[in-house]
Structure 1
Amino acid sequence: MLSVECFADADYAGSKIDRRSTTGYCVFVGGNLVSWRSKKQSVVSRSSAESEYRAMSQSTCEIMWIHHLLTEIGLEHHTPAKLWCDNQAALHIASNPVYHERTKHIEVDCHFIREKIQENLISTGYVKTGEQVADLLTKALNGTRVDYLCNKLGMINIYAPA
């Protein structure tokens, strides 16, 4: 049975020029990294939860695409993809069907994550910030941290001496 996991992250207001956040995600199928992305968000977020929620939304779109691709090639999987996030407020927004006044500023189209949870396409989970592999795509990190995350992603340095 193929498992699909996605790690989603954002750097809240990371751009010094326009204070937009950067979304990053890594998607694994059967434990293998198959898709990743780093992209500046199109709007300015008013909170870290909002920027993380937007990253979750973009990641959910990628999960849907991968789900359709796997189905097309005959590799159907019946367990929901796991969407990992290190922001508990964003996870709460995604899983709580009750409308909150505090989330009114997030566009309606971002709330489709709840639908995908109800459709059993995805399930969300908390990952500690130290284990968030998508940090590699959203933040400036020191060499030790980069090496650690590259190892977690299964990346190797083809130029390293053997």
Structure 2
Amino acid sequence: MFTPTIKHWAALEQILCYLKGAPRLGIVYRNNGHTRIECFANADWAGSKIDRRSTTGYCVFVGGNLVSWRSKKQNVVSRSSAESEYRAMARSTCEIMWIHHLLSEVGLKYPTPSKLWCDNQAALHIASNPVYHERTKHIEVDCHFIGEKIQENLISTSYVKTGEQLATS
């Protein structure tokens, strides 16, 4: 939206052509009585059999309506499930920040902090513990980033059972 390119225009045209061709189909957004932002973040540790890279998946809801989702292979190999989940949480936090900025730009109010749901207890412990240990040194930048956003009251992290996790990677 800030500096659109020809690729963005092509994507918009593709979406409009789809909508024109499917007038009876659509996405229904409902007024659920709130404007909370919630994000479900997940990763499949070493899921790729070829290079053992994990895949990040997240979905973001505003007011109970799905507004953003993504599934992408991580660009590094994670040495633990907590590391791959933590990288997914960091990427999801970036998306939450973008949505916050977008909503602010159009003048919409939203309550903070946004809820970031994760199904990995170790990753949540790292996020809530401001003391960094030698075992988390390889993800130290992500640790500082998420810790900073928690301190700024932009996000709060919570556990969700794996069976109730909406994000799939």
Tell me the TM-score normalized by structure 1: 0.81
Q: Tell me by how many angstroms 1:78 deviates.
A: 3.4
The offset of 1:59, in angstroms, is 0.1
Contact residue 12 and residue 22 of structure 1 kept, 8 A:
yes
2:17 is aligned to none
> CA 1:109–1:49 in 2, change beyond 3 Å: closer, same or farther?
closer
Match of 1:103 in 2: 136
SS of residue in 1 equivalent to 2:167: helix
List structure 1 runs of 4+ shifted beyond 3 angstroms: none
Q: Tell me if 1:41 matches 2:74.
A: yes
Counting only pairs closer than 5 Å after superposition, residues 4-153 of structure 1 correspond to structure 2 as: 4-135=37-168, 138=169
Amino acid at match of 1:95: S
Distance 2:56 2:82 in 1: 12
Q: Aligned partners of 1:103, 1:131: CA distance in 2, in Å?
A: 27
Q: Which amino acid aligns with 1:64?
A: M
Give the conservation status (yes or no) of the 8 Å contact 2:36–2:111: no
Write the distance in 2 (CA, Å) between the matches of 1:43 and 1:13. Answer: 10
* CA distance in 1: counterparts of 2:69 and 2:123, whole angstroms: 20
The Cα shift of 1:105 comes to: 1.5
Name the residue aligned to 1:143. none
Q: State the Cα distance separating 1:85 from its structure 2 match.
A: 0.0
Give the Å deviation of 1:107: 4.4
What is the letter of the counterpart of residue 151 of structure 2? Q
What stretches of structure 1 of length at least 5 have no aligned partner? 139-162
How many pairs were matched up? 136
Q: Which has the larger radius of gyration?
A: 2
Amino acid at match of 2:122: A
TM-score (norm: length of structure 2)? 0.78
User: What's the offset of the Cα at 1:125?
Assistant: 0.2
Structure-2 separation of matches of 1:6 and 1:130: 16
Q: How many Å separate the matches in 1 of 2:43 and 2:142?
A: 18
AA of the residue aligned to 2:79: R
